[in-house]
Amino acid sequence: MHIPDNYLSPATCGVMLTAMAPIWTVSVLKVKAQIKEKKETVPLIGVAAALAFLIMMFNLPIPGGTTAHAVGGTLLAVLLGPWAACLALSLTLLLQALLFGDGGILTFGANAFNMAVIMPFVGYACYQIGRRLHHEKIGLAIGAYVGINLAALTASIELGLQPLLAHSSNGTPLYCPYGLNITIPAMLLAHLLVAGWVEALFSVLVYQFIKKAAPDTLYRAPATAKSFKAFYGLLIGLIVLSPLGLLASGTAWGEWSNQELTHRLHTAAPVGMTHGVHFNALFSDYAIHGLNLPLGYILSALTAVLIFAVLMRVLQHEH
């Protein structure tokens, strides 16, 4: 679901980034007010961003040879509130793009809209309905499943509109070459059949774990949290297990390199993709030069967690 650079036209990227600007502004204002009531919000945002980062490292095999992954958007909204979850997920997506080449730089606004807005807010609304009906776990599971699938649908529409929005005079697509009739079924198939169920299961299991181990850290709990040991243990466990994400071979649908896309199309990739932005991330694909892939994967995970920890420590001192 991480749309790479050059799959969306510059105009589309500009529109999505512009749409995200007021959302991020409101998120910052909402979170500032939340911090005044519950100071634990600052370190929790760092923990949540790290948690989402690690969740997304576990790739899942999809029929047809592609992969997908869970995100944890609804879970973060339940832990932090939807506005803080929006900021945490945006931080995660930004780090993934800048340091690991997962998702594009120009498409950051689109990816944030899909995974940091659609997913947590839709999922949280479902959770709230379940909570009012005294079935919060069912609400969480449904929210997680619906949230990730709506996010996938939104991404598929953004991709599928490109042949209509950006093409040459003879109608040849300049960016993503696949229309809505292909992008929507392809994206939804992966998430309806696999990723959505994993998202729901993981969200409920982690929610149950945190509710037992650290209930006062939940969004609607009293501001008495004193220990983050449960979260730290969870993060360490996911870091150690992260190489399991390497077991699923193949590239996620719509995230191919130009070479992979050329092979799929049996012709050259669209001009806008071959002549677009090509950013070389330091640890592209979570690999570290000179290390075997599993160890590089673990160190990439650890690096991300440490970056979030340092960033939140700096922000905490400011508050």
Q: What is the rounded distance in angstroms from the CA atom of residue 108 to the CA atom of residue 160? A: 18
The kind and range of the H/E element at 165 are helix 162-165
Which pair of tokens denotes residue 229?
Answer: 């040991």
Contacts of 211 (CB under 8 A, 6+ apart): 218
- How confident is the model at residue 270, as a pLDDT? 95
- How confident is the model at residue 214, as a pLDDT? 80
Helix, coil or strand: residue 222: coil
- How confident is the model at residue 227, as a pLDDT? 66
- How confident is the model at residue 156, as a pLDDT? 98
- How confident is the model at residue 37, as a pLDDT? 87
- How confident is the model at residue 224, as a pLDDT? 53
Measuring CA to CA, which residue among 206, 167, 221 is closest to residue 73? 206
Contact between 76 and 206 under an 8 Å Cβ cutoff? The reply is no
Q: What is the pLDDT along the chain (319 residues), one digit of tens a residue?
A: 999 999 999 999 999 999 999 999 999 999 999 998 888 888 899 999 999 999 999 999 988 889 999 999 999 999 999 999 999 999 999 999 999 999 999 999 999 999 999 999 999 999 999 999 999 999 999 999 999 999 999 999 999 999 999 999 999 999 999 999 999 999 999 999 999 999 999 999 999 998 888 887 788 766 555 567 888 899 999 999 999 999 988 899 999 999 999 999 999 999 999 999 999 999 998 988 888 999 999 999 999 999 999 998 888 776 5
What CATH number is given for 10-318 in this structure?
1.10.1760.20
- How confident is the model at residue 215, as a pLDDT? 81
Give the E-state strand segments of the chain in sequence order.
Answer: 59-62, 66-69
- How confident is the model at residue 315, as a pLDDT? 81
Q: What is the rounded distance in angstroms from the CA atom of residue 124 to the CA atom of residue 162? A: 30
- How confident is the model at residue 40, as a pLDDT? 83
- Per residue, what are the HEC states of 3-45? CCCCCCCHHHHHHHHHHHHHHHHHHHHHHHHHHHHCCCHHHHH
**R_g of the chain, CA atoms, integer Å:** 19
- How confident is the model at residue 132, as a pLDDT? 95
- How confident is the model at residue 118, as a pLDDT? 98
Phi/psi for 162 (5° steps) reads -60, -45
Q: What is the torsional sign of CA 45, 49, 54, 58? A: positive
Domain locations in the chain?
A: 10-318
